[in-house]
Structure 1
Amino acid sequence: MSYADQVFISMCKDILENGCSTEGEKVRPKWPDGAFAYTIKKFGVVNRYDLSKEFPALTLRRTAIKSAIDEVLWIWQRKSNNIHDLKSHIWDEWADEDGSIGKAYGYQMGVKHQYKEGMMDQVDRVLYDLKNNPYSRRIMTNIYVHQDLHEMNLYPCAYSMTFNVTKRSGEEKLVLNAILNQRSQDVLTANNWNVVQYAALMHMFAQVCDMQVGELVHVIADAHIYDRHVPLVQELISRESYPAPVFWMNPEIKDFYDFTPDDFRLDDYVTGPQIKNIPVAI
């Protein structure tokens, strides 16, 4: 069984057995038929993944690695807030007639800020510090910008990354670790998608900064399973699990802005069948 499967199964069981139900409470999300979308939720879920040991792709069902990486590059590399720059259609519900999702996600990554070293956006600041000040305790990003929330079509869910560099005894290369902070997560549809995205992002940053990958710590304030997802999750976590796939990333890429989704693949990726037609709350 892959470690990602162990973490996912344990988290889902904990939510289902010990979570808090929002049924009958005042909630914002609704199903497409207009019914309120209630959840079973847990507060403060923390999952840790040692990326030096295996890549955390779920094997209970397939996670589309190229589509996941395309979205994280859309935000972090292309710094776009327009769905026309994205191959998948996961953001279509939140886009306006021009394809914009407002001042959200990639827009915030592209905003330049004044630092003593000059004008940089948040991504370039991270890369600058990892290369020049790796032991800094201030290497972080934040896209939950309150002054712009009213112009975002969806408030950021995964909103902050904090990077921290360590070193293993007897080794020369530094080790890149990170914390992903997420205010809210639909566990069935998004959990492993986000884990795979940010694991890949750490691999990218580590490679272009000549580091090794270390731990990804995923902190979820509100980890929830929607009411109509409960039987789907119960079936999913009862499935057979397989060994973790082998992660491959093009070793020739030395500039973060040169990566494309075609520079990644998961070899020996054996999974259970995909779950189709998952209802999505809006």
Structure 2
Amino acid sequence: MSLADNIFIHMCKDILEEGISTEGEKVRPKWEDGTSAYTLKKFGVVNRYDLSKEFPAITLRRTAIKSCIDELLWIWQKKSNNIKELNSHIWDSWADENGSIGKAYGYQLGVKHKYKEGEMDQVDRCLHDLKNNPYSRRIMTNIYVHQDLHEMQLYPCAYSVTFNVTKEKNSEKLKLNAILNQRSQDILAANNWNVCQYAVLVHMFAQVCDMVPGELVHVIADAHIYDRHIPIIKELIERPVYAAPEFWMNKDIKDFYQFTTDDFRLENYVTGPKVENIPVAI
């Protein structure tokens, strides 16, 4: 069993057994038929993944690594808010007639801010500090910008990343760690997708900053399983599990903006069958 499988199964069992139901309460999300989408939820779930030991893709079912990296690059590298620059359709429900999701996600990472060192956006600021001041305790991004929320088609779910550098004894290289803060997460649809995305981001940042990947800590304020997902989750966590896959990344890329989806793959990735027709609450 991979560590990621163990974490996922434990989290799901905890939500199913100890979670609080929102049934009957006033909730925003709706199913396609217009009925309210209720959840079982846990507050303040914290999961830790040691990226130096394995890549945290679950094996219970396949995580589409190319698609999740494509979305990561769309947000962090292209800094785009237009789904026409994305190769999947996961954002279609939130885009306007021009393909825009408003001043959300990639838009916020692309806004330039004034610093003593000059004008930079949030991504370049992090890369600058990791390369020039790695022990800074101020290396972070935040895309939950209140003044722009009214112009976002969806408020950011994964909204903040804090990077922190450590060094192991007898190690020649610094270790890059990160905390991903998420206000809300649909566990079935998005949990391992987000974990894999930000594990890849840590690997990318570490490589271009001449570091090694360390821990990814995932903090979820509202970790929930939707009512119509409960039987799917119950079946999923009873499946056989396999060894963690091997993560391959093109070691020749030293510029963050040169990565493409072709520079990544998961090798020896053995998984359970695909979960078909997952209902999505909007």
Q: TM class, shorter-chain normalised? A: over 0.9
Structure 1 letter corresponding to 2:210: D
Matching residue of 2:24: 24
Counterpart CA distance in 2 for 1:26 and 1:44 is: 21
Matching residue of 2:64: 64
Matching residue of 1:135: 135
Matching residue of 1:89: 89
Counterpart CA distance in 1 for 2:191 and 2:166 is: 26
Structure 1 letter corresponding to 2:27: V
Structure 1 letter corresponding to 2:218: H
Counterpart CA distance in 1 for 2:88 and 2:235 is: 26
Provide, for residues 110-135 of structure 1, a one-character-per-residue CA deviation record: whole Å limited to 9, x for no partner: 00000000000000000000000000
Matched, 1:242 2:242: yes
Matched, 1:172 2:166: no
Matching residue of 2:115: 115
Distance apart, 1:90 and its partner CA? 0.2
Structure 2 letter corresponding to 1:234: K
Counterpart CA distance in 2 for 1:140 and 1:220 is: 17
Q: TM-score, normalised by structure 2?
A: 1.00
Counterpart CA distance in 1 for 2:239 and 2:41 is: 22
Matching residue of 1:9: 9
Structure 2 letter corresponding to 1:155: Y
Q: Which SS does the other structure have where 1:235 is aligned?
A: helix
Matching residue of 1:217: 217
Counterpart CA distance in 2 for 1:173 and 1:198 is: 21
Q: TM-score, normalised by structure 1?
A: 1.00
Name segments (4+ residues, structure 1) moved above 2 Å: none
Matching residue of 2:78: 78
Counterpart CA distance in 2 for 1:173 and 1:129 is: 16
Matching residue of 2:144: 144
Matching residue of 1:105: 105
Provide, for residues 143-168 of structure 1, a one-character-per-residue CA deviation record: whole Å limited to 9, x for no partner: 00000000000000000000000000
Counterpart CA distance in 2 for 1:151 and 1:103 is: 6
Counterpart CA distance in 2 for 1:70 and 1:261 is: 6
Provide, for residues 11-41 of structure 1, a one-character-per-residue CA deviation record: whole Å limited to 9, x for no partner: 0000000000000000000000000000000
Structure 1 letter corresponding to 2:92: D
Q: Which SS does the other structure have where 1:183 is aligned?
A: strand
Provide, for residues 158-195 of structure 1, a one-character-per-residue CA deviation record: whole Å limited to 9, x for no partner: 00000000000011100000000000000000000000
Q: Which SS does the other structure have where 1:241 is aligned?
A: coil
Q: Which SS does the other structure have where 1:74 is aligned?
A: helix
Provide, for residues 215-250 of structure 1, a one-character-per-residue CA deviation record: whole Å limited to 9, x for no partner: 000000000000000000000000000000000000
Matched, 1:203 2:206: no
Structure 1 letter corresponding to 2:240: E
Aligned residues: 282
Matching residue of 1:124: 124
Residues 30-45 of structure 1 mapped to structure 2, 5 A cutoff:
30-45=30-45
Structure 2 letter corresponding to 1:197: Q
Counterpart CA distance in 2 for 1:261 and 1:57 is: 17
Counterpart CA distance in 2 for 1:15 and 1:277 is: 22
Counterpart CA distance in 1 for 2:103 and 2:10 is: 36
Q: Provide structure 1 residue ranges, at least 5 long, that are not aligned to the other structure.
A: none
Provide, for residues 54-80 of structure 1, a one-character-per-residue CA deviation record: whole Å limited to 9, x for no partner: 000010000000100000100000000
Counterpart CA distance in 2 for 1:137 and 1:280 is: 38
Counterpart CA distance in 2 for 1:253 and 1:156 is: 29
Structure 1 letter corresponding to 2:35: A
Structure 2 letter corresponding to 1:130: L
Structure 1 letter corresponding to 2:18: N
Counterpart CA distance in 1 for 2:232 and 2:197 is: 23
Structure 2 letter corresponding to 1:168: E
Counterpart CA distance in 2 for 1:62 and 1:122 is: 32
